[in-house]
């Protein structure tokens, strides 16, 4: 929630009616230097519409149109400049971010379920036990001995991808944040790469 704009980044954060500047005006966003995108705060950007000066390069008709869209959207944002910004985390009812709620959101959601399903496994995900190591130990017993190394690779790839996404969200690295579909694709790609390096076998993992 934007207040005085001293904690919110104009170009990177999702503060304009639930959208980022890039989503509203992608071509305009592309014309802004990376350093400026990463440092321009809302408070300074709105002083005399200073954000317009961040745009470099030749202006086309489409760029002018997107500038107008962005300008109107920014003007419609209601702010209380007497209060500091509040960062609301949608993954928790309280609106307060914690690494735990991010991890739970990812683990208990689609990522683990879809990865397990793609491997032909019908078992509960790690969120059912609340402890990845305990779940891994028990789940591994349900996989054929021949397939356990491949199962381990799948678990490591999934856990590693979720860990990276937790960090991306914790440090507001928008460029590294992925959707569930993108995460599952990344996990499968990593798994296949590791398997090709090891033996070149298929993804399917069968239970005993």
Q: Give yes or no: residues 156 and 112 share one domain.
A: yes
Q: Give yes or no: residues 81 and 130 share one domain.
A: no
Q: Tell me the average pLDDT across 123-138.
A: 79
Q: Give yes or no: residues 10 and 60 share one domain.
A: yes
Judge whether 171 lies within some domain: yes
Domain limit, last residue, from 64, 87, 110: 87
pLDDT: which is higher, 1 or 194: 194
Is residue 32 pLDDT above 50, yes or no? yes
Give the model's pLDDT for residue 203.
Answer: 45
Q: Give yes or no: residues 66 and 104 share one domain.
A: no
How many domains, in total, are found in the chain? 2
Residue 77 CB partners (closer than 8 Å, separation 6+): 2, 15, 16, 17
pLDDT, tens only, 177-196: 777 788 888 888 888 887 77
Q: Give yes or no: residues 27 and 110 share one domain.
A: no
Is residue 206 pLDDT above 50, yes or no? no
Q: Give yes or no: residues 78 and 118 share one domain.
A: no
Residue 47: exposed, middle, or buried by beta-carbon count in 10 A (0-12, 13-18, 19+)?
Answer: exposed
pTM equals 0.47
The angle at the Cα of 10, spanning 6 to 12, to the nearest 5 degrees, equals 115
Give the model's pLDDT for residue 67.
Answer: 92
Judge whether 56 lies within some domain: yes
Q: For residue 5, what are the domain limits?
A: 1-87
Give the model's pLDDT for residue 87.
Answer: 61
Give the model's pLDDT for residue 31.
Answer: 95
Judge whether 158 lies within some domain: yes
Judge whether 159 lies within some domain: yes
Q: Tell me the average pLDDT across 132-156.
A: 87
Q: Give yes or no: residues 83 and 135 share one domain.
A: no
pLDDT, tens only, 33-90: 999 999 999 999 999 889 999 999 888 888 999 998 999 999 889 888 888 877 655 5
């Amino acid at each position: 929630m934007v207040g005085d704009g001293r904690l919110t980044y104009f170009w990177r954060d999702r503060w304009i009616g639930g959208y980022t500047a890039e989503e509203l005006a992608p071509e305009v966003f592309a014309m802004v230097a990376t350093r400026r995108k990463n440092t321009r705060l809302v408070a300074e950007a709105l002083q005399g519409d200073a954000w317009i000066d961040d745009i470099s390069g030749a202006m086309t008709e489409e760029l002018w149109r997107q500038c107008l869209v962005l300008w109107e959207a920014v003007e419609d944002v209601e702010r209380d400049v007497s209060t500091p910004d509040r960062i609301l985390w949608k993954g928790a009812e309280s609106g307060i971010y914690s690494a735990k709620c991010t991890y739970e959101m990812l683990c208990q959601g689609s990522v683990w379920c879809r990865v397990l399903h793609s491997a032909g496994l019908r078992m509960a995900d790690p969120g059912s036990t609340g402890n990845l190591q305990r779940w891994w130990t028990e789940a591994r017993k349900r996989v054929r001995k021949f397939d356990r190394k491949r199962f381990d690779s799948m678990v490591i790839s999934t856990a590693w991808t979720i860990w990276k996404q937790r960090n991306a969200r914790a440090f507001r690295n928008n460029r590294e944040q992925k959707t569930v579909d993108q995460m599952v694709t990344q996990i499968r790609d990593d798994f296949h790469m590791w398997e090709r390096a090891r033996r070149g076998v298929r993804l399917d993992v069968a239970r005993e």
